[in-house]
Amino acid sequence: MFDKTVAELSAALRRRQVSSVELTQLFLARINKYKNLNAFITLDPERSLAQAKAADARLAQGESTVITGVPLAQKDIFCADGWLTTCGSKILSNFVAPYDATLIEKFNKAGAVCLGKTNMDEFAMGSSNETSYYGAVKSPWNTEVVPGGSSGGSAAAVAARLAPAATGTDTGGSIRQPAALSNLTGLKPSYGRVSRYGMIAFASSLDQGGPMTRSAEDAALLLNVMAGFDVRDSTSVNEAVPDYTQTLNKDIKGLRIGLPQEYFSKGLSPDVAKAVEAAIAEYKKLGAQVVEVSLPNSQLAIPCYYVLAPAEASSNLSRFDGARYGYRAKDYTDLLDMYCKTRAEGFGAEVKRRIMIGTYALSAGYYDAYYLKAQQLRRLIAEDFKKAFESCDVIMGPTTPSTAFKIGEKSDDPVAMYLSDIYTISVNLAGLPGMSIPAGFDPKGLPIGLQLIGQYFDEARLLNVAHRYQQVTDWHKQMPKGFN
């Protein structure tokens, strides 16, 4: 039962072959059995089981939705009323959220069960889950390598079958990169598609929540719940939400796949290149055609991002001051001292680096050279995509330049760590939807991800294109050894 997808569990619950309480107990036992992965920060079995009981009652009364009774893991960036919500940081180590994020509220209304809050890089700033105050997460594929980040706990939990699916958030690749490194299907929706209300902000013009699952079909089921306009998020977009499951099986004959030459140049590992090329060949067999496109400014996405994201973060994280909630330093002389000590003790090194880069980029005399320049580049990057989509329907390429790296390998070198998001960051800058799906393994047995990029609000097509591939391949069904 633990290896079943959300779609399969939903059917089993509806046929009353299993109860939500039984499923919840099963996954909680697995979480406990494999706690060496460090995938979760907070568990609250009593609360989870109470939700499961309520779901079983709904199922008995026939008042259920497709995901009623399905246990899910929630990234610890989403505020959930009554749950400790740390965002991977010491500064929120005692923060029991007093309200629900819109995303959590939607899952609660639909009757899903929260299994626990998953580990993550501190404030989602990282690509390896090593910046978490609660310790690194180990990959179930090889406990010496990283699961990816920042949604590393969600990735490890779903890959090890500790949860059938999880939520993640993606500011520069934090859903797609861990999905690629952990053999999952991960979808970052278009900017404005999923409400950011109650999702602790890192870089507000880039952050988006999305599903991390084991199939495109499951991603569609979860996105059906998550997507939609929210008056409480000022950047939420009022666009109709289709039923993403309805178009999964559409024929993709004639689909035009754009391959950006820049995504296949130096820096890409031969193993990843080979797997991506094999996936493209598979798509040709399904009737797709390939066109060459160019994203000439994609090399500048990383420098651009490391101005804009830290600038927004330095502003967003100014709210953590020890006055109204969260951690407060013990000894201080005056208000300024309280702020400075609380923040020095409460934030980790990577978060401090980004706050300082952002503060510097926004400071008097440097604003035009850094912040304004980066915003101009952002437009050039977005226009590259616009032009590319004149000749194709989806863009494909690798999600990451290489497979998972060793824990500790890049943790002392922030710049090397930043480069691991080279193919994912530009998608956030443009605000487009992006996806990573399993496409094979390297000789060491580590997963490889294929990235799909779509036009604004074209999530349905991405899910359709991913689903068709998953009908003719079984990479996404592979499971790490030792988790039976």
Binding site for another protein (CB under 8 A): 94-96, 98, 190-192, 205, 231, 234-235, 237, 297, 299-300, 302-304, 306-307, 314, 318, 321-328, 332-341, 343-344, 347, 352-353, 355-357, 359-361, 363, 370, 372-380, 382, 414-415, 418, 430-431
Distance in angstroms (rounded) separating the CA atoms of residues 127 and 150: 5
**Is 75 one of the catalytic residues?**
yes
Q: Could you identify the residue written with the tokens 């604004």?
A: 456
CB of 385 to another protein, least distance (A): 11
Closer to another protein at the Cβ: 240 or 254? 240
Closer to another protein at the Cβ: 65 or 359? 359
CB of 100 to another protein, least distance (A): 13
Given a contact cutoff of 8 angstroms between Cβ atoms, the answer to whether 394 and 255 are in contact is: yes
CB of 389 to another protein, least distance (A): 15
Q: Could you identify the residue written with the tokens 């060949």?
A: 281
- Please state, as a whole number, how many other Cβ atoms lie within 10 Å of the Cβ of residue 430: 22
**Is 10 one of the catalytic residues?**
no
Nearest C-alpha neighbor of 360 from the set 417, 318, 307, 321: 307
Q: In what order do the strands lie in the sheet with 71-75?
A: 40-42, 113-118, 71-75, 166-170, 208-213, 185-188, 434-441, 447-453, 394-398, 256-260, 289-293
Closer to another protein at the Cβ: 4 or 373? 373
Distance in angstroms (rounded) separating the CA atoms of residues 171 and 188: 9
Closer to another protein at the Cβ: 264 or 360? 360
Burial of 366 (0-12, 13-18, 19+ CB in 10 A): middle
Catalytic entry in 19, 75, 117, 182: 75
Q: Could you identify the residue written with the tokens 């999880």?
A: 166
Q: Which two tokens stand for residue 439?
A: 């496409």
Burial of 45 (0-12, 13-18, 19+ CB in 10 A): middle
Q: Which two tokens stand for residue 142?
A: 């090889």
Catalytic entry in 150, 151, 190, 314: 150
Closer to another protein at the Cβ: 240 or 336? 336
Q: Is the dihedral of CA 379, 380, 385, 391 positive or negative?
A: positive
**Is 138 one of the catalytic residues?**
no
CB of 355 to another protein, least distance (A): 5
CB of 373 to another protein, least distance (A): 5
Distance in angstroms (rounded) separating the CA atoms of residues 127 and 132: 11
Closer to another protein at the Cβ: 281 or 380? 380
For 352, the enclosing helix (H) or strand (E) is helix 349-362
CB of 427 to another protein, least distance (A): 10
Given a contact cutoff of 8 angstroms between Cβ atoms, the answer to whether 130 and 407 are in contact is: yes
Catalytic entry in 132, 139, 174, 190: 174
Report the catalytic residues.
75, 150, 174
